[in-house]
Amino acid sequence: MRYLPLNENDRVAMLDVIGAKSIDYLFQDVPEKARLETLVDLPKHQSEQAIERHMAKLSAKSVSAGSVPFFCGAGAYKHHIPATVDHLIQRSEFLTAYTPYQPEISQGTLQALFEFQTQVALLTGMDVANASMYDGSTACAEAVVMAKRVTRKSRAILAPGLHPHYAAATQTLASTLDIQIDERDCRPGRDDHVIDHINDDTACVVVQSPNVFGEIIDLAPIAEKAHKHKALLIAVFTEPVALGAIKSPGEQGADIVVGEGQGLGVGLNFGGPHVGLFACTKKLVRQMPGRLCGETVDANGERGFVLTLSTREQHIRREKATSNICTNSGLCCLAFTIHMSLLGDAGLKRLAALNHEAACHLADVIDGIHGAEVMNESFFNEFTVKLNKPAADVVEALAKKGVLGGVPVSRLTEGNEDLLLVCATETSSEEDIHAFEKALTEVLS
């Protein structure tokens, strides 16, 4: 087996040093009835070439986003990732390092995390950000749990436009922690109504902008009302590129901001790994979940970085920890940071503008198709289309014509059968949009 350096002579010599007659001696603590005498019923080892062939065949059974006109969003976005990003994250020193517990020989990872935290804080308009969560949805769930800790209240309001998967992940975690979540009606055009539900019992209001329907929400009045009742505003986003074009949640009064960072530097990956972003105000930092990297000095007085404030975390605090998270999304943070470093303010704003422009163009095109109507007053790079047929059927029919034409809302949550979520990015060419127009016109007629 090509990955195993020991040979039979080594093994015999080593057993001899141990004083064991055979390898079985080292497994003597295993109860007899649980000792496997034969190989498990699985194929034997295979060459690199054989595996590559098997996997390439499997890969070919799916239609990749880059191979067709592609318009899916709803929480995962297709963007161009500069070649530099994938090269750098594959460097051995980043790829094959563990969590930076020995800071003297982990400054590469640690400094990148410090840069990441700063970029996320700037992007969201918040004071501080942590070193990532698993993804946007788990970050959202953890934020609600954190709001309970901070406010000592246990009622959470989830806006109707919160991504249904985020709401579900939050509901799952909340259900065991005595957090009551208000019923919500996942439909477009209703997020403003959350204001009417905020009262003194409210621990937090969770509002996504742009929301799952693509609508951009004015968070400021919601923040104001929440604060009046000593509740927190948790702002959510699923597309980081949007923050290059729209107001940051921080400037609108959010207390905690959580979101998905995949859109910068990380590929679609069929939904994972992605990278959860988590930011908050300075005053809440000791209640935050997850790892934090901080600046310090070494014995020579030189600037360096370490993991810090770990008394919040499970390995020190155990059952009193703010979360059970340990491994996070390390390498995806690095990809995010490198992509963001390449972009800078200027690049991000331009990228955002191109996304918005592509979506505006697509919206105009779709509005001109009989049987399709764009519902949004506002949007960034995705919007909701009302169709004259069930969206799930339309999407299947489009796929047969070689177009991946968006995500039916019914895929995410039951109901809303006639609604389709459509997304355009800088990768959507004029040709792609034209192909979509043609296919959709045929399918709807």
Partner 1 sequence: MNNEGRPTTPVAINSNERLTVSGSKGLDQAVNLIFEIGTPRRTGVDLPEPKGRASRLGGQERTGEIGLPGLSEPETMRHYVRLSQKNYAIDLGIYPLGSCTMKHNPRLNEKVARMPGFADVHPLQPTSTVQGALELMHQLSHWLMTLCNMPAVALTPKAGAHGELCGMMAIRARLDADGQSQRRRVLVPESAHGTNPATAVQCGFTVDEIPASGDGRVNLDALREKLKESDDVAGIMLTNPNTCGLFERDIVEIADLIHGAGGYFYCDGANFNALVGRVRPGDLGVDAMHINLHKTFSTPHGGGGPGSGPTVLSDALKDFAPLPFVVKDADGFRLVEHEGGEAEGSFGRMCAFHGQMGMYSRALTYMMSHGSDGLKQATEDAVLNANYIQSSLSDVMTVAFEGTCMHEALFDDRFLKDTGVDTLDFAKAMIDEGYHPMTMYFPLVVHGAMLIEPTESESKGELDRFILTMRSLAERAKAGEAESFKQAPVYAPMRRLDETKAARNPVLRWTPPVEE
Ligand X SMILES: Cc1ncc(COP(=O)(O)O)c(C=O)c1O
Query: Which of positions 78-117 make contact with ligand X (CB under 6 A)?
Result: none
Separation CA 162–CA 183 (nearest Å): 12
Tokens matching residue 263: 């859109």
Residue (28 or 327) nearer to ligand X, CB: 327
Q: Pick from partner 1, ligand X, none: which does 354 bind, CB < 5 to 8 A by kind? A: partner 1
Tokens matching residue 251: 């400037």
Member of 38, 47, 96, 327 binding ligand X (CB under 6 A): 327
Q: Pick from ligand X, partner 1, none: which does 15 bind, CB < 5 to 8 A by kind? A: partner 1
Q: Pick from ligand X, partner 1, none: which does 419 bind, CB < 5 to 8 A by kind? A: none
Tell me whether residue 191 is exposed, middle or buried, using C-beta atoms within 10 angstroms of its C-beta: 0 to 12, 13 to 18, 19 or more.
buried
Q: Pick from partner 1, ligand X, none: which does 4 bind, CB < 5 to 8 A by kind? A: partner 1
Tokens matching residue 36: 């496997």
Separation CA 374–CA 421 (nearest Å): 10
Residue (88 or 195) nearer to partner 1, CB: 88
3-state secondary structure of 198: coil
Separation CA 429–CA 66 (nearest Å): 12
Residue (323 or 425) nearer to ligand X, CB: 323
Separation CA 394–CA 388 (nearest Å): 10
Question: Measured on CA atoms in the order 391, 396, 397, 402, is the torsion positive or negative?
Answer: positive
Number of residues lying near ligand X (CB under 6 A): 2
Separation CA 79–CA 158 (nearest Å): 29
249 preceded by cis ω (within 30°)? no
Residue (202 or 405) nearer to partner 1, CB: 405
Q: Pick from partner 1, ligand X, none: which does 64 bind, CB < 5 to 8 A by kind? A: partner 1
Residue (63 or 230) nearer to partner 1, CB: 63
Member of 6, 14, 51, 326 binding ligand X (CB under 6 A): 326
Q: Which residues contact 361 (CB under 8 A, 6 or more apart)?
A: 424, 433
Closest CA relative to residue 258, chosen from 232, 233, 276, 285: 276
Nearest distance, CB of residue 190 and ligand X, angstroms:
37
Nearest distance, CB of residue 427 and partner 1, angstroms:
11
Residue (9 or 327) nearer to ligand X, CB: 327
Q: Pick from partner 1, ligand X, none: which does 293 bind, CB < 5 to 8 A by kind? A: partner 1
What is the contact surface with ligand X in residues (CB under 6 A)?
326-327
